[in-house]
Amino acid sequence: MLKKLFKSFHSPLRRAPRPRSTPEVLSSSQHPLKRNEISRHAISVVERLQKAGYQAYLVGGCVRDLLLDIDPKDFDVATSATPEQVRAEFRNARVIGRRFKLVHVHFGREIIEVATFRANHPQGDEEENSNLASRHESGRILRDNVYGTLEDDAQRRDFTINALYYDPTQEHILDYARGMHDVRNHLVRLIGDPEQRYLEDPVRMLRAVRFAAKLDFEIEKHSAAPIRRLAPMLRDIPSARLFDEVLKLFLAGYAEYTFDLLLEHDLFAQLFPASGAALKQNPQYTEKLIRQALINTDDRIHDGKSVTPAFLFAALLWPALPARVLQLQNKGMPPIPAMQEAAHELIAEQCQRIAVPKRFTIPIREIWDMQERLPRRSGKRADLLLENPRFRAGYDFLLLRELAGEDTGGLGEWWTDYQDANDSERRQMIRDLAGKGESTGNAPRKRRRSNNRRKRSDESSGE
């Protein structure tokens, strides 16, 4: 009882003692960072926290990217102030998160994310305060709000290249983990024991791949070694979190290289089990279709065009669909119902692993449904399909299938010509299809029921 009583007076800064380390300090003449390259709002947050008596630095990806002459997508701040203390300094701030409590300071559309220095979780006989820190029995961190010093925070970060702290007031960089060395040598290296760090958070395996692809770095050999063995641990990650991670992997302009790294480290099948199985059963077609979809996605991003997760997920999952449709057809189910049922099952299974929202699963099914409807062009069907809001996505997907090697009998070329044709040319194209005896998707005409039987029945009843 006394032990628990004394523990209740300990602050959140309580942690296991360990030797201190001294960071390498790089002055403004030793690095290329300039204040005018940095968001003025981020600098104002740092300076205001420092004036209030707290330590505060720009940290992580923004520092790394500036060193590599890449425009940071956002700016993060690390500070000795607790989330509540940060919130008290900024009226335009909001505390968010439970697993990892943060503060968002809003400046119009720009958000500066502020995190309190974290420390290692209690070790050995020390008991964790479940309100501050908790772990799964596998070692995965479930809550991470144990606060510490700047040195603690540096050692708690995942990769050395993300553990660089920049003080815009002094224009110094603090490097506790030899991050500058790895930036210069283009290495993604975990801080600490790689296996333990992956066990704490298996998503770090995906982050290692993402940074390697984005920066064109190599994953350092000791950091890469446990990934294939520990890849199945991704099954324990909440499906909603994996959806966010997959968007970061594939919608940042380097999706094709990311795909190569995911395959190399046996991570792709953990994210897309059915597609991973299709890669084994039909590797040439499956890889070609997925790769072409990722190339197209990268090209659109580099050209400043919009991309939709629905089309990307439709391509990533498509190779697993035809075999399921065929199984249902072999059981006597007609083609369109078979497609709909197989699509429903496949998407439901995938959502167990990655929580794809309904706003994307509905368009995925509509894109797939168009693949059954595009061959059906007789009468007014072709014109009605052109007016369908999913026609363009379905047509693009048809071309993707053809690029991957599917034989559609020239269907993609026909639809390309039909879109460019005038009205009379379109009518002739429909007549030519019928004249050549080609399949236009006509369903057998149903026999009309005779009204004689009903008339006789009406007469007998006196109506």
Transcribe 321-368 into DSSP letters.
Answer: HHHHHHHHHHTT--HHHHHHHHHHHHHHHHHHHS---HHHHHHHHHHH
Active site residue 396: no
Percent of the chain with pLDDT over 90: 80
What pLDDT, on the 0 to 100 scale, is given for residue 438?
A: 54
What pLDDT, on the 0 to 100 scale, is given for residue 15?
A: 40
Active site residue 417: no
What pLDDT, on the 0 to 100 scale, is given for residue 417?
A: 96
Both tokens assigned to 87? 């919130």
> What's the whole-number mean pLDDT along residues 83-107?
92
Show Cβ contacts of residue 323 under 8 Å, excluding neighbours closer than 6 positions. 278, 281
Helix axis angle for 391-403 and 411-420, nearest 10°, is 140
pLDDT at 9 > cutoff 60: no
What pLDDT, on the 0 to 100 scale, is given for residue 121?
A: 54
What pLDDT, on the 0 to 100 scale, is given for residue 11?
A: 38
pLDDT at 139 > cutoff 90: no
Both tokens assigned to 271? 């994210």
In the block, tokens 């299974």 appear at 349
Active site residue 74: yes
**How far, in Å, CA of 308 to CA of 364, rounded?**
10
Q: Considering only residues 273 and 5, tell me which one the structure prediction assigns the higher pLDDT.
A: 273
Q: pLDDT tens, 168-204?
A: 999 999 999 999 999 999 999 999 999 999 999 999 9
Q: Choosing from 144, 152, 153, 158, which is the catalytic residue?
A: 158
Domain ranges in the chain with CATH number 3.30.460.10: 21-120+134-184
Buried b (16+ CB within 10 A) or exposed e, 340-359: bebbeebbeebeebbebeee
Computed over every residue of the chain, the mean pLDDT equals 87
pLDDT at 395 > cutoff 80: yes
- In eight-state DSSP terms, residue 20 is -
DSSP reduced 3-state for 166: strand
Domain ranges in the chain with CATH number 1.10.3090.10: 272-435
DSSP reduced 3-state for 298: helix
pLDDT at 432 > cutoff 80: yes
Query: What is the domain class of 272-435 according to CATH?
Result: mainly alpha
CA distances (Å), origin 322, targets 288, 368, 398: 16, 11, 14
**Residue 238 burial (10 A CB sphere; 0-12, 13-18, 19+):** exposed
Report residue 232's pLDDT band, with 50, 70 and 90 as the boundaries.
very high
CATH 3.40.50.720, applies to 21-120+134-184: no
DSSP reduced 3-state for 115: strand
Q: Choosing from 76, 144, 152, 153, which is the catalytic residue?
A: 76
pLDDT at 125 > cutoff 50: no
